[in-house]
Structure 1
Amino acid sequence: MKIKATLDRIPGGMMVVPLLLAATLNTIAPDLLRIGNFTQQLFVDGAGTLIALFLLCTGAQINLRNVGVSLGKGATLLTVKWAVGAVVGLIAYMFAGDNGLWLGLAPIAVIAAMTNSNGGLYVALVGQYGDKTDRAAYSLLALNDGPFLTMVALSIFGAMGFVDGLFSFTSFISVLLPIVVGMVLGNLDEDMRDFLNKGSSMLIPFFAFALGMGINFGAILEGGLAGIVLGLLTVFVTGTAGYFVFKALKWNPIVGAAEGSTAGNAVATPAAIAAASAGFAANVDIATVQVAASTVTTAILLPLYVAFLVKRLEKKGVRLPEDYLTKESKTQAS
C-alpha cells in the first residue's frame, strides 16, 4: 500500500487525514482508544507532548543570529489575529440586540474565539508549508492562549476594567522552553541540529491524530448554526487577513492564514470572564457552546481552506515554501 504517497497527494494530508479520522472515531466510539497505558498516552493524550517535541526539533533549526525574523513573524501573527478579532467583537457589541446577541452570537464568544488560535493546527500547517522561521514564530503565539487578550479587548472597549491574574507568565515560558532547549542544542552542535531536523515532519500525523481525539462533531450540533457561523468568521476573516498581511510583507501568506482557528482552551474563556465581571454572566452558557462549535468548525475547515489557498498559489507557479524562504532559512538550508 502507498499510504504516504496517497497522503502526500492530498493537500495537508499528513495533518488533515489523521485529524479527521480521529475526530470521527472520537465522535462514534470515544472510549475505543481510551484504554490506558501506552495506547491512550500516544493516540489520545499525546498531543501536548508530541507538539512539544516537534517544537524542540524546530528550535534546533534556528540560528541565534537570525532569531529576529521569527519574532517579527510571531508578533505580526499575534497582532493581526487580535486586532481583527477585537474589531469584529466591537461590531458585535455595537449592534447587539436587546437579548445581548448579534446575529445570534454572544459578543464575548466572538472575541474569545477570534482572538485565540489553535497552536497545534498552526504548527501542523506551517510544518508542511512553512520554513523554520515560520515554525519558530509559534513561541510568541502562546500569548493568545486563554482569556488574556480577550480581557485586553474588553478593557479597551470600556466593557470592563482590566483584571490581573488571568495571564500566567509561567504558562508562556512553559510553551517557549522546548523551543529554547532545541535552539541551544542546535547552536552548540551542528550534528544535533541535523539529527533533530529529521523529527519535525515525522511527528505531524501523530499529534494531528491526538488533536482529533479531542474533537467531537456533536459540538457543532450543540452550538447550532450561530457557532458554525462563528467558526466561518474565524477562518475566513482572521485567516484571510493574516494571508494578505503576510503577502504584503513578502512572507509566506499561507503562514498568515494558518492562524485562522480557535483553540480548545478558548471554550473556558467566557466562564473566566464572567467570574471576573458578573455583567457577562447572562450569556456565559450560550457563549461557551458557540466557542466550542467554532473550535470544531475551524479544526475541520481551516486545513481545507489552506489547501485551497495552496492550490491557488501553485496555479500561479508559486512553490511552497521555497519561493518564500527568508535569507536566513536559505542560509540554514545550504
Structure 2
Amino acid sequence: MKIKATLDRIPGGMMVVPLLIAAVLNTFAPDLLRIGNFTEALFVNGSSTLIALFLLCTGAQINVRSFGVSVGKGATLLATKWAVGAIFGLVAYMFAGDNGLWFGLAPIAIIAAMTNSNGGLFVALVGQYGSKEDRAAYSLLALNDGPFLTMVALSVFGAMGFVDGMFSFVSFISVLLPILVGMVLGNLDEEMRDFFDKGSSMLIPFFAFALGMGIDFRAIVEGGLSGIILGILTVFVTGSAGYFVFKALKWNPIVGAAEGSTAGNAVATPAAIAAANVSFAAFTDIATVQVAASTVTTAILLPLYVGFLVKRLEKKGYTFDQGNMTKVDV
C-alpha cells in the first residue's frame, strides 16, 4: 500500500488526515483507545509531549549564522507576515461577539494561521520563481514555525487589555525552552541538525492524531467553512502584503507572495497556547479545526494565486530565468 505517497498528494495530508481520523474516532467511539497504559499515553494524551519534542526538532533547523541579503529578505517576510496576522487578530479581539468569535473565527486561530507559513510550499514556489538568495531566506523563516510569534502577539494584546492577562514569564519560557534547546544543539553541530530534521517530520502525524482525540466531530462541521474563509484571507491578505512589500523594495515580489500560506504544524499552536495560558482552552478545539482547514485551503489556493501573479508580471514584460526576475525591453 502507498500510504505515505497518498498522504503526500493531499495538501497538509500528514497533519490533517490523522487529525480528522482521530476526531471521527473521538466523536463516535471515544473510549476505543482510552484503555490506559502506552496506547492511551501515545494516541490520546501524548500531544503535549510530542509537540514539545517537535518544537525542539524545529528549533534545531534555525541557523543563526545566516547573514546578508538572504537574512534581510527573510526578516522582511517574517515581519510582514507577523504584522498582518497580528493586526487581523487584534481587530478580531476588538470586535469579537459574546461567544468570543469574530464572524465565526477564533482570534487565536486567525493569529496562528496568518503568522505561520508552509515552509515546504514556500521553498517549492521560490525554487521555481526565485533566486538562491531568495531560497536561503527560508533559514530565518523557520522562526514562524510553531507558537512563538503567536505568543508574542497575544502578550502584546494582554498588555493592551484585549486578552485575559499576559503570559507569565515562567509559562512563556516553558513553551519556548524546547525551541531554544534545539536551536543551540542544531547550531553547535550540523549533524545534530540533520538528526533532528528527520525527527520533526516523523512526529507530525502522531501529535496530530493525539490532538484529534481531543476534538469532537461537531467542531469540525462548525469550524470547516470558517476555516476555509481563514485560508482564503491568509492567501490574499498575507500573500498580497508580501508581494507589495517586496515590490516596493525592488525585490522579486513573487517571493513575498509565496509566504501566503498556513503550515501544517500551525495546527498545534492553539494547544500550545492553551498550555501557556488556560484562558484560551475554551477555544482550542474550534481554533485547531479552523487552522487545519486553513492549511488545506492555502496549500491548494496559494500556488494558483502565485501562478496568476506570475502571468500578470509576464504580460508586463518580466521573465523568470533560473530564478532571476528581469524586465525585457520591448
Shorter-chain TM-score above 0.5: yes
| Equivalent residue letter for 1:22 | R
Aligned to 1:161: 166
Q: Matched residue of 1:104: which SS?
A: coil
Equivalence for 1:133: 133
Structure 1 stretches lacking a partner, 5+ long: 1-17, 32-47, 182-206, 326-334
Q: 2: distance between equivalents of 1:176 and 1:311? A: 40
1:233–1:174: structure 2 CA closer, same or farther, 3 Å change rule? farther
Aligned to 1:102, the other structure's residue is in SS state coil
* Counterpart position of 1:22: 9
For the residues of structure 1 that align with 2:303 and 2:111, how far apart are their CA atoms?
Answer: 22
Q: Cα RMSD between the aligned structures? A: 3.5
Q: How many Å apart are 1:22 and its aligned residue?
A: 1.1
| Native 8 Å contact 2:220 2:286 kept in 1 | no
**Counterpart of 1:145 in structure 2: which amino acid?**
D
**Residues 212-253 of structure 1: CA deviation (Å, up to 9, x unaligned):** xx9xxx998674210001001110000000000000000000
Which residue does 1:297 correspond to in 2? 297
2: distance between equivalents of 1:235 and 1:294? 9
User: For 2:303 and 2:137, how far apart are their aligned partners in 1?
Assistant: 19
Determine the C-alpha separation between the residues in 2 that align with 1:300 and 1:173.
35
TM-aligned CA deviation for residue 126 of structure 1: 0.4
The residue number in structure 1 matching 2:288 is: 288
Mapping for residues 1-334 of structure 1, pairs under 5 Å: 22-23=9-10, 67-158=67-158, 159=163, 160-162=165-167, 163-167=172-176, 168-172=179-183, 223-320=223-320, 321-323=323-325
Distance 2:185 2:302 in 1: 26
Q: Answer whether contact 1:247 1:253 (CA < 8 A) is retained.
A: yes
Contact 1:223/1:292 (<8 A) preserved: no
Q: 1:177 to 1:69 in 2, by over 3 A?
A: farther
Give the CA deviation at 1:164.
Answer: 1.5
For 1:324 and 1:176, the matched residues in 2 are separated by 36
- Any idea what SS the aligned residue of 1:319 has? strand
Residue 132 of structure 1 aligns with an amino acid whose one-letter code is: K
- Contact 2:145/2:265 (CA < 8 Å) preserved in 1? yes
Whether contact under 8 Å (2:175, 2:276) holds in the other structure is: no
Aligned partners of 1:126 and 1:258 also within 8 Å: yes
In structure 2, the CA distance between the partners of 1:172 and 1:143, relative to structure 1 (3 Å rule), is farther
1:324 Cα offset (Å): 5.3
1:300 maps to a residue whose letter is I
In 1, Cα distance between the equivalents of 2:309 and 2:7?
20
Sequence identity (%): 70
CA distance in 2, matches of 1:236, 1:221: 24
Runs of 4+ in 1 over 4 A off after TM superposition: 18-21, 172-178, 218-222
**Is the 1:123–1:138 Cα contact (8 Å) retained in structure 2?**
yes
State the alpha-carbon separation in 1 of the partners of residues 157 and 280 from structure 2.
14
Query: 1:319, 1:247 → 2: CA distance?
Result: 15
Answer yes or no: is the 8 Å Cα contact 1:239–1:257 preserved in 2: yes
**CA gap 1:21/1:152 in 2 versus in 1, 3 angstroms:** closer
Look up the match of 1:203.
Answer: none
Structure 2 gaps of 5+ residues are 19-53, 192-200, 209-216
Give the whole-Å Cα distance in 2 for the aligned partners of 1:136 and 1:89. 29
Structure 1 residue 171: Cα displacement: 3.8
Letter of the 2:156 partner, please give it: I
Distance 1:134 1:19, change over 3 A: farther
Q: Give how far 1:118 is off.
A: 0.6
- Which residue in the other structure is 1:189 paired with? none
**Alpha-carbon shift at residue 322 of structure 1 (Å):** 2.7
* Structure 2: distance between partners of 1:94 and 1:82: 18
Alignment partner of 1:323: what SS? strand
The 3 A distance-change label for structure 1 pair 236 and 280 is same
Kindly indicate whether the alpha-carbon contact (under 8 Å) linking 2:130 and 2:325 is maintained by their aligned counterparts in 1: no
Counterpart code for 2:258: A
Q: C-alpha offsets along residues 128-158 of structure 1, whole Å, 9 cap, x if unaligned? A: 0000000000010111111000000000011
TM-score, normalising length: structure 1 = 0.65
Number of residues of Structure 1 aligned to a counterpart in Structure 2: 244
Seen in structure 2, the aligned counterparts of structure 1 residues 298 and 274 have a Cα distance that, compared at 3 Å, is same
Is contact 1:111–1:150 with CA below 8 Å preserved after alignment?
yes
In structure 1, the partner of 2:32 is none
Contact 1:139 1:176 in 2 (8 A): no
Taking structure 2 as the reference length, what is the TM-score of the superposition? 0.66
3-state SS, counterpart of residue 75 of structure 1: helix
